[in-house]
Amino acid sequence: MSYRILCLSLLILATCGCADAPDSNLYSELPGPSQPRAEVDWSPDPSFAADVEPIIASQGQTEDNAGQEESDNTAPNDDGENGNPVAELPGTPEHEDQPAREIKLLVPHKRFLKDRRTGALRVSYDDIDLLKVLNMEPVPEGAPQHFPEWLSQLDGQRIVIRGFMFPTFVFEGVTDFGLARDNGICCFVNEPKAYDMIEVMMAEGTSTKYIQGRPFDVEGVFRIDPLSGDENTLDRVYRIEDAAVVQ
């Protein structure tokens, strides 16, 4: 019992002593730094910027040079430097003079049906396509000498063929015109082959209107009538005379 009283007495004395003690004894201040704190300067270092800028410029120049070198390596040149072959693009002068195909007969026999309306022979552009009939490209001046008998015998026959009217300078009273194989043949679009255009001469005293953008039938006398062009080739192979437009 006396031990408990002693411990309680000591606790009371310690508490009273802490309450009477000044604050300075409870919390002691830390000693100050021996030197004043240096302020940090966050501005860029001029020497560092000087080192970095040339590197960036060098990298950009390297990328540009790499692109230029790649362009130089892939571009065609006359002497094929850097071991690269000289590139040739279609349509360049090197490809304009293509070797002529070997002429050979591909369609030895052919028969034509009669048109029910006119009684004339029904002929299509595929029938008189010299590339399909004779493997002929380009069409030389002596082309008719290679024609099969069935094609030569069409000369002087009345035929009916379907095509498009080549643009004319008049819209009324058209007495002659070009009959094109398709609507895409024009001097501003595709250059027609010699067998893709037929000169049509209307029957005497008759005419037609300009027919734009739609196919129609022409009936008349078929003629093999070559017209010479440039470089020993033909500009035209066929003609139709005494013609009428069949609507």
Can you tell me the mean pLDDT for 83-104? 58
- For the stretch 63-87, pLDDT in tens is 444 444 444 444 444 444 444 444 4
Residue, of 108 and 186, whose pLDDT is higher: 108
CA diameter of the chain: 155
Tell me what the pLDDT averaged over the chain comes to.
75
| Beta strand 121-122 pairing with 176-180 | unpaired
Task: State residue 247's pLDDT score.
Answer: 79
d(CA 159, CA 198): 13
Work out the average pLDDT over 105-130.
97
> Average pLDDT of 84-102?
55
| Residue 139: per-residue pLDDT | 94
The reported pLDDT for the residue numbered 42 is: 53
- Least trusted range by pLDDT, from 47-51, 147-151, 231-235, 240-244: 47-51
**pLDDT confidence band for 14 (50 / 70 / 90):** low
Ordered by start, the domain boundaries in the chain are 121-246
Which residues are within 8 A (CB) of 121 and not within 5 positions of it... i.e. 6 or more apart? 112, 113, 114, 115, 154, 157, 158, 159, 160
Query: CA 131 to CA 193: how far, in whole Å?
Result: 10
pLDDT interval class at 229 (50, 70, 90): confident
Which CATH code is given to the segment(s) 121-246?
A: 2.40.50.870
Q: What is the mean pLDDT of residues 33-42?
A: 52
Residue 53 has pLDDT above 80, yes or no: no
Read off the pLDDT of residues 165-203 as tens digits, 9 standing for 90 and up: 998 889 999 999 999 998 876 554 567 899 999 999 999
The pairs formed by 190-195 with CB atoms below 8 angstroms and a separation of 24 or more are 193/130, 193/131, 193/139, 194/130, 194/138, 194/139, 194/143, 194/229, 194/233, 194/234, 194/235, 194/236, 194/237, 195/125, 195/128, 195/129, 195/130, 195/131, 195/139, 195/237, 195/238
